[in-house]
């Protein structure tokens, strides 16, 4: 969950307390928010980044603390593409120009804005694409130096990788557009580039939007095919979200509404999957794992509401998480 609390991509004390509290709270894996691999890949000017070597120092302090609490620190690498350069949600979320702290140009697979208020992106050249792939690889190297032990490539929610694989936003006529193979080429290339620098012993996740919820958009069957394609390239788990590439779709929101995507991809490809979306109770999360719908449950908003959710869940499910000694007398 984006915190919109950075300056020039730098983590600070907010991130230490925010991420550290989840480790103290009993989470087994603690991810940063979407962390931009280049400055123009930020959703807002206040997004976290991993595009400078100088970002490593504070991030290292955070990973050391997270690991000290028995949790695994993970980093989500991202590029906002055509959804970049916007105000923070509590500042209105509107597109920002250079005179307001934003930037131009923003980039995307095609010169199609996300929505009329958004900037129209510049269609990326082949040189731009090559530079972007390298930016993800260099960001992964920095994440490794900072002590992270899991990387997730953010290819969902209408951000750049999703913009390329979805026919809703990709109207290119070169080798990165048109066919399924061409539209998914960028995801494969980023995966391969990151895997070359990310040790085999450390997991690499890919977050996708399993469907665009739109006619003539990306489908769950496309997601199955993509998962099968990236598995041999070194992706260990598919984080199965959905939507985000258009403002018009009607999404049937409900408890665990995205879990069937994780189940389908898992069963049809054999790859590990993570379930997300309106998972709010310990018994619900436990049921997802016990019934083989997914291999992992990833929580976001519920963990913002209660950073100690894992400890509450353990108590409800009659399991045990050893608390920090400072807190032991309260359990």
Query: What is the per-residue pLDDT across 194-205, written as a single tens digit (0 to 9) for each?
Result: 999 999 999 999
User: What whole-number distance in Å separates Cα of residue 170 and Cα of residue 331?
Assistant: 53
Residue 232: CB atoms within 10 A of its CB come to 8
Assigned token pair, 245: 């590439």
Share of the chain above pLDDT 70, in %: 100
pLDDT for 330 equals 82
Residue 141 burial (C-beta neighbours within 10 Å; 0-12, 13-18, 19+): middle
> Does 259 score more than 90 pLDDT?
yes
| Residue with tokens 């530079």, as numbered in its chain | 131
How many CB atoms within 10 Å of residue 103? 16
- Rounded CA separation 103/215 (Å): 33
Q: Convert the pLDDT of each residue in 110-154 to its tens digit.
A: 999 999 889 999 999 999 999 999 999 999 999 999 999 999 999
Q: Please answer whether residues 79 and 37 qualify as being in contact, where contact means their C-beta atoms are separated by less than 8 angstroms.
A: yes
Q: pTM here? A: 0.97
Q: Write down the residue that tokens 């990788």 correspond to.
A: 161
**What does the pLDDT read at residue 329?**
86
Contact in structure between 42 and 52 (CB atoms under 8 Å) = no
Hey, which residues does 154 pair with through a beta bridge?
207
In tens, the pLDDT along 14-57 reads 999 999 999 999 999 999 999 999 999 999 999 999 999 999 99
Rounded to whole angstroms, the Cα distance separating 290 from 296 reads 10
Element (H, E) at 75: strand 72-78
Other CB atoms within a 10 A radius of the CB of residue 216 amount to 8
Quick one: how far is CA 222 from the chain centroid? 19
Q: Output the pLDDT for position 150.
A: 98
Residue 144: per-residue pLDDT: 98
Confidence of residue 328 (pLDDT cuts 50, 70, 90): confident
Dihedral over Cα of 91, 93, 97, 98: its sign: positive
> Helix, strand or coil for residue 108?
strand
Tokens of 243: 């939507």
* Residues in Cβ contact with 81 at an 8 Å cutoff, skipping those fewer than 6 apart: 41, 106, 107, 108, 109, 121, 158, 159, 160, 161, 163
Cβ 84 vs Cβ 40: under 8 Å = yes
Contact between residue 41 and residue 1 where contact means Cβ atoms under 8 Å apart: no
Whether the bond into 201 is cis, omega within 30 of 0:
no
List the catalytic residues. 159
Pairing of strands 122-123, 296-297: unpaired
Please tell me the predicted confidence (pLDDT) of residue 249: 83
**Residue 331's pLDDT band (cuts 50, 70, 90):** confident
pLDDT range class, residue 76, cuts 50, 70, 90: very high
Q: Tell which residue, 27, 110, 138, 123, has the closest CA to residue 74.
A: 27
At 275-314, the pLDDT tens digits run 999 999 999 999 999 999 999 999 999 999 999 999 999 9
pLDDT over 80 at 324, yes or no: yes
Judged against a pLDDT cut of 80, whether residue 253 lies above it is answered with: yes
Question: Looking at residue 194, what is its pLDDT?
Answer: 98
Region 54-62: mean pLDDT is 98
Instruction: Scan for tokens 């309260």, then name that residue.
Output: 330
């Amino acid at each position: 969950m984006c915190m919109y609390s950075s300056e020039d991509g730098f983590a600070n004390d907010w991130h230490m307390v925010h991420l550290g509290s989840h480790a103290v709270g009993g989470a087994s894996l603690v991810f940063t928010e979407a962390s931009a691999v280049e400055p123009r890949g930020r959703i807002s000017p206040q997004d976290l980044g991993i595009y400078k070597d100088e970002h490593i120092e504070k991030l290292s302090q955070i990973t050391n603390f997270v690991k000290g609490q028995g949790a695994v620190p993970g980093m989500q690498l991202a590029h906002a593409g055509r959804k970049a350069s916007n105000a923070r949600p509590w500042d209105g979320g509107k597109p920002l120009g250079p005179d307001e702290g934003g930037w131009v140009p923003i980039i995307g697979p095609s010169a199609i804005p996300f929505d009329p208020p958004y900037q129209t992106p510049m269609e990326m050249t082949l040189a731009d694409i090559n530079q972007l792939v390298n930016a993800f690889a260099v960001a992964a190297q920095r994440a490794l130096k900072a002590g992270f032990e899991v990387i997730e490539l953010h290819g969902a929610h209408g951000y750049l990788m999703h913009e390329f694989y979805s026919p809703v936003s990709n109207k290119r006529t070169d080798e990165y557009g048109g066919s399924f193979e061409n539209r998914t080429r960028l995801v494969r290339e980023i995966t391969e580039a990151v895997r070359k620098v990310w040790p085999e012993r450390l997991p690499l996740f890919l977050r996708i939007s399993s469907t665009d919820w739109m006619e003539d958009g990306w489908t769950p069957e496309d997601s199955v095919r993509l998962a099968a394609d990236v598995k041999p390239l070194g992706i260990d788990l598919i984080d199965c979200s959905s939507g985000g590439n258009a403002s018009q779709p009607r999404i049937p929101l409900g408890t665990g509404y995205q879990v069937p995507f994780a189940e389908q991809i898992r069963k049809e490809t054999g790859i590990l999957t993570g379930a997300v979306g309106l998972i709010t109770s310990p018994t619900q999360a436990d049921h997802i794992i016990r019934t083989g719908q997914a291999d992992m449950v990833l929580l976001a908003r519920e963990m913002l509401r209660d950073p100690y959710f894992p400890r509450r869940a353990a108590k409800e499910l009659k399991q045990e998480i050893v608390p920090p000694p400072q807190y032991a007398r309260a359990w």
